[in-house]
Amino acid sequence: MRIAVGLCLLAVLGGLAGCVGPSAGGTPTPTPPPVDAGDVATPDPTPTPDPGPARASAAAASNPWNADPVTVAVVAPATDGRDYRPLVERALAFWENESTGYGLDYRVVDDADAADADVRVRFVDDIVRCSGIHSERDVGCADYVPRGAAAPDPTAVRVETGYTNESTVETLTHEVGHTLGYEHDDADEYPFMAAETRKVRLPTPNATSLANPWKKDSLRVYAAYPDIMETQRLEYVEGVERAVDYYRTDESSTLPAGVDLRLTDNRSEADIVVEFTRTGTATSVGRRYGYNVDADPAFEQFTRYEITVNNIDRDRIGWHVGYWLGWAFGAESHEDLPPPFDDPEEDDREDW
């Protein structure tokens, strides 16, 4: 079964999760539009294809693996450094103590015996396919084994890393439940089997604490002049060019190291959009957009930045664009901005 995570971009991206669909023979539906709570629906399971004669029928067996004990291998990324075995054991112990109609004695095996295990639980950085369906929002995927059917050998369970212990155990318990024939309709008895559940990510470093909050080595800037007459536009263009050139060439700029900053004529490929207007009070403002995958409100990655410069004197255009570019590159306060933006006087804004 599948567990899907809804992403709410722009202001906040919910790092929450829904439920999991079958990895062998299932037909998951597309993830619905993201919602603030991150709750998303997934399809009810469908029977998997017959795994073949190599496995004895489970109809008369003590469990779908016809094994005692049922051996379980835990495979985790070598660079993770997190001990997942106790979390897997908690999920397995829950089902051992339930009246499932099966005789269950799970045994988590050491690495040396992992190749022959009945169930293989793999922790992965990202799950991009489940049941043959591509998705960037899945955090879990497992074989669904209908009641009375023989389990595939080995039975596969995948769980995405990066979630709290409690959320990970709940995901594991949900997944193991599917290998025992439990479905989303069993949520009245087992709430964690619901098709919509909430998951919590581990704390993730905020974008502003990273050397490169964009996590990419190429940034494109697009400037739009909808309210500017053609006869005046050259001064606006030159102001934007001066600001971009400052961050590209000045040693005191805060452009992340290794990032290629360039102007573009294609708005659709722009990461940073500067728009000039000529109505109302003289103001300029910057707006960040990005990913937020943990519980705090801060972004973990920037994905877009918008600068609006309204009714500003033409000799100060470059300064206002440069000021907001500093925030686009990760400033958290005025002190983080490069000169002359960190403590500007009125005179600093002229002739930029």
**Tens digits of residue pLDDT in 311-350:** 998 889 999 999 999 999 999 999 999 988 987 666 567 6
The predicted-structure confidence for 147-198, as pLDDT tens digits, reads as follows 999 999 999 999 999 999 999 999 999 999 999 999 989 999 999 998 778 8
Q: What is the mean pLDDT of the chain?
A: 82
- Cα 214 to chain center, whole Å? 14
The pLDDT of residue 126: 86
Check pLDDT > 50 for residue 105.
yes
Helices (H) and strands (E) in the chain, counts: 4, 12
Of the ranges 34-48, 246-260, 282-296, which one carries the lowest mean pLDDT score?
34-48
CB 200 within 8 A of CB 165: no
Torsional class of 101: left (φ above 0), alpha (ψ -120 to 50), beta (otherwise): left
Q: What angle do CA 148, 150, 154 make, to 5 degrees?
A: 145
Contact 38, 15 (CB under 8 A): yes
Residue 11 has pLDDT above 80, yes or no: no
Structure-model confidence comparison of residues 291 and 138, the more confident one: 291
- pLDDT tens-place string over residues 114-161: 999 999 999 998 888 877 776 666 788 899 999 999 999 999 999 999
Residues 100-137 as b/e (b if ≥16 CB within 10 A, e otherwise) read eebebebebbeeeebeebbbbbbbbeebeebbebebeb
Report DSSP state, residue 209: G
Nearest to 45 by CA among 139, 177, 183, 190: 183
Q: What is the pLDDT of residue 45?
A: 38
Pick the residue with more confidence: 62 or 263? 263
- Find, among 139, 132, 48, 145, the residue nearest to 104 by Cα: 145
What is the CATH number assigned to the segment(s) 2-193? 3.40.390
For 299-335, the three-class secondary structure string (H helix, E strand, C coil) is CCEEEEEEEEEECCCHHHHHHHHHHHHHHHCCCCCHH
pLDDT score recorded for residue 184: 86
Tell me what pLDDT residue 299 has: 94
- C-alpha distances (whole Å) from 336 to each of 97, 130, 339 are 56, 44, 9
Residue of higher predicted confidence among 132 and 201: 201
Residue in 126, 131, 136 with CA at minimum distance from that of residue 34: 136
Tell me what pLDDT residue 329 has.
98
- Checking if the pLDDT of 306 tops 90, the result is yes
Is pLDDT of 111 > 60? yes
pLDDT (tens digit, 9 = 90+) per residue, 45-66? Answer: 333 344 443 344 343 358 999 9
Q: Which among 251, 273, 258, 257 has a CA at the least distance from the CA of 324?
A: 273
Gap between the Cα atoms of 109 and 41, Å rounded: 34
Give residue 49's pLDDT. Answer: 40
Task: State residue 181's pLDDT score.
Answer: 95
Contact 16, 5 (CB under 8 A): yes
Structure tokens belonging to residue 28: 């998951």
CATH architecture of 207-349: 3-Layer(aba) Sandwich (3.40)
Q: What does the pLDDT average to over 200-212?
A: 91
Residues of the chain with CATH 3.40.390: 2-193, 207-349
